[in-house]
A and B are shown apart, each in its own frame.
Chain A
Amino acid sequence: MKGNEMTPEMTPGEVGQESTPVVSLRHVRKVFPGAGGPREALRDVTFDVARGEFACVVGPSGAGKTTLLRTLAGLAQPTSGEALFEGAPLRSVPPGIGVVFQDYGRSLYPWLTVARNVELPLRVRGVQRTERAQRVAAVLASVGLPDAGRSYPWQLSGGMQQRVAIARSLAYRPDLLLMDEPFASVDAQTRFELEDLILRVRQEFGITVVFVTHDIDEAVYLADRVIAISKSPGVVTEIVDITLPRPRDQITTKADPAFAHYREHLLGLVMNR
C-alpha cells in the first residue's frame, strides 16, 4: 500500500513519521440480508490511510460508500475481512474517531444549543467545565462561528449547521475525521467555502481525514489520494495519488491542467469506461 509514499507538498512534517496506518481495511466484505436475497455492498476492499493524510473515497450512488464509512467508524462490522484503527481491530466506535454525517439536520441535536451540541462529547469525557467552555469557544471560532453558541442549530443556515457538526467532531480532538458526503446538502457557493474550511481545519488540527463523496471535482480538490470504488458490489478500482500543490485554491487549483487530467481519469473510472 501507499501509506508512506507521501509527497512533500502534502502535510508538512508528517512524512515518514508514523509507520502504522491510522486505518486499514483488509479484504473487507459486507453483505446485507435482504428481502430479495442477500445484497453484497462491499466486496474485497483493501486500503490504508496514513497519519495526516487526506483520503477521498469516490464512487457512484449505490457503491457502498456509506457502508464503507460506517465500517471505518466501527458502527458496522464487516461480514468478512478486517478493519483496523491504529493497528487494533475495530469492534466498536473508538474514542479517537470523529464523524460528520451528510444530514446535519438529523445529526445535530435540536434540543441543545450550538454550544451544548459541541460540548456534549467533552461532557461525556469528563472535561472540566471551564476547559469545556474554552474548547467550545475555540473550536467554534475555528469553523468561523464565534458567536453562534447560544443559538439553536435550527436557527442557522444549512452551511452553518454543518460547520457546527464539524466543530462538534473536532472538539474532542480525534485522530481521524470521517466525513460522509458532508457538503452534499448545501448550495455550491457554501460548498466551496466548506471545502476550504475543512482544508484549513485539517492543517490546524493535524488530523487524518477520510472523506466520502460522489463528486469527483471535490475529491480531487481536497485529497492527497483518491480511492475510487465501483458500483455494487463495491470494489476498489484504483487508488490515485493527487500531487496538486498545496495550499489549494478554488480558482487556480481547478484551472491547473493536472486537475483536469485527474478529473478525466477518475470520471472514466467511476463511469466504468
Chain B
Amino acid sequence: MSSSYLSEGRPPGAGYLSGLRLAGRAATRVWLFVVLFLVWWFWSAGSKSLYFPPLSSILKSLWTQWVTGPARAELSSSLEHLLVGYVIAGVLGIGIGALLWSLRYLREATSPYLYFLYVLPAPVLVPAALTLFGIGFTMKVVLIAFAALWPTLLNTLDGMRGVDQVKLDTARVLGVSPVGTVFRVVLPAAAPQIVAGLRNSLQVAIILMVVSEWEASTDGIGYYIVNAQQSFDYVGMWSGIIVLAIIGTVANVLFVAAENRVLHWHYGARAVEGARR
C-alpha cells in the first residue's frame, strides 16, 4: 500500500492508532460469521429433525470423527490426492505453457484443442477415468491433475505472450541468453498471471478431489460425505461438508501468503502506480 511509503513522517503513537484500526478491520470481517454461527447454533439447538441436526452435535462429530476419530484417514487420503494432483497440474501447466509459448507452430496447431479441453466440465471425465485407470490413487490423481492443468497452462501461455517487447529487447541488449531470458525475464514478468492461473487451478483441484471420491471409491472426504448421507448419518454428512469448507479456506490462506511473498514487487509497484495517478 502507498500508506507504508508515506509512513516515515507519521507522528509517534500512530502505530497504536493503526493497531486499533487493524482490530476494527478484523471485527468488520468477523461479525457476520459470529452472527451466523450464533443463529445456526440457537436455531438448531432443540432440533429433532433428522435432516437438520443441532450444530452442537455436528461440531461434536467434527471432533470425534475428524480430529480424534476414524475419519482422519479419509482426510489424509483426500489431502494426499489433492496435493499430488495439484503439484503435477502446476508443474505441467507452467512447463507446457512455456513450451507452447516458445514453439509458435505447436501453439497455433494446438490452441483450438486446448480451449476445447478447457471448457469441458472435468467431472464428466470421472467415468472415463474409472475405465482407464480403475479405482484408486492413480485415477484420482490423474483426474485432479488433468482438470486443474488448464487454468495454469492457459494463463501461463497468455502471460508469457503478453510480456512487453521492451523487456525482451532489454534482455538481448544486456546479453542474457535465450534460456536465461525465459527464467530471468519471461517467467517473472508473467508471474502475476501464472499465479492467477494457479489459484484457479487450486479451486478446480479441490472440486475434483471431492468429485473423484463420489463414485466407486472407498476412501476420502467425498466418499465419507456420500456414504454418511446414504446411511442417514446427517450429522456426519454436515461435519464432512464443514471439513471441506475448512480445507478450502486453509488452502486459500496458504496460497495468498505464498502469493504475497512471490509477488510482493508486483503489488508494491501497482500501489505506487495507483498513488501517482
Q: Which residues of B contact A103 (CB under 8 A)?
A: 166
Considering the chains assembled together, what is the distance between the CA atoms of A154 and B5 in angstroms?
12
Across the A-B interface, how many residue pairs have beta carbons closer than 8 Å? 65
Segment of B77-85, B123-131, B265-273 in the binding face: B265-273
Check if B161 is an interface residue, CB within 8 A of chain A: no
Segment of A53-61, A93-101, A139-147 in the binding face: A93-101
Question: Is B174 a contact of A124 with CB atoms below 8 Å?
Answer: yes
Q: Mark A103-137, 1 if CB is under 8 A from B, else 0.
A: 10011011100000000110011000000000000
Check if A183 is an interface residue, CB within 8 A of chain B: no
Q: Which residues of A contact B176 (CB under 8 A)?
A: 120-121, 124
Question: Is A93 a contact of B185 with CB atoms below 8 Å?
Answer: no
Shortest beta-carbon distance from A2 to chain B in Å? 27
Question: Is B272 a contact of A154 with CB atoms below 8 Å?
Answer: yes
Check if A192 is an interface residue, CB within 8 A of chain B: no
Shortest beta-carbon distance from A199 to chain B in Å? 22
Question: Is A124 a contact of B173 with CB atoms below 8 Å?
Answer: no
Question: Is A152 a contact of B174 with CB atoms below 8 Å?
Answer: no
Q: Which residues of B contact A101 (CB under 8 A)?
A: 166, 169-170
Q: How large is the interface on B (under 10, 10 to 19, 20 to 34, 35 or more residues)?
A: 20 to 34
Q: Which residues of A contact B164 (CB under 8 A)?
A: 106
Considering the chains assembled together, what is the distance between the CA atoms of A95 and B172 in angstroms?
9
Within 8 A of A (CB), among B160-208: 164, 166-167, 169-170, 172-177, 180, 184-185, 188-189, 191
Question: Is B169 a contact of A75 with CB atoms below 8 Å?
Answer: yes
Q: Which residues of B contact A124 (CB under 8 A)?
A: 174-177, 180
Q: Which residues of B contact A125 (CB under 8 A)?
A: 175
Question: Is A172 a contact of B175 with CB atoms below 8 Å?
Answer: yes
Question: Is B166 a contact of A152 with CB atoms below 8 Å?
Answer: no
Given A111-B191, A154-B272, A106 and B177 touching (CB < 8 A)? Answer: no
Given A107-B166, A107-B167, A154-B273, A121 and B265 touching (CB < 8 A)? Answer: no
State how many residues of chain A have any CB contact under 8 Å with chain B.
26
Given A75-B173, A120-B184, A110 and B166 touching (CB < 8 A)? Answer: no
Question: Is B175 a contact of A121 with CB atoms below 8 Å?
Answer: yes
Question: Is A106 a contact of B172 with CB atoms below 8 Å?
Answer: no
Check if A73 is an interface residue, CB within 8 A of chain B: yes
Considering the chains assembled together, what is the distance between the CA atoms of A107 and B164 in angstroms?
9
Q: Mark B257-269, 1 if CB is under 8 A from A, else 0.
A: 0000000011011
Question: Lowest 7 A-B CB distances belong to which pairs?
Answer: A106-B166, A154-B269, A121-B174, A111-B188, A99-B173, A111-B265, A110-B269
Q: List 11 A-B contacts (CB under 8 A).
A: A93-B172, A99-B170, A101-B170, A103-B166, A106-B164, A109-B185, A110-B269, A120-B184, A121-B174, A121-B176, A154-B269
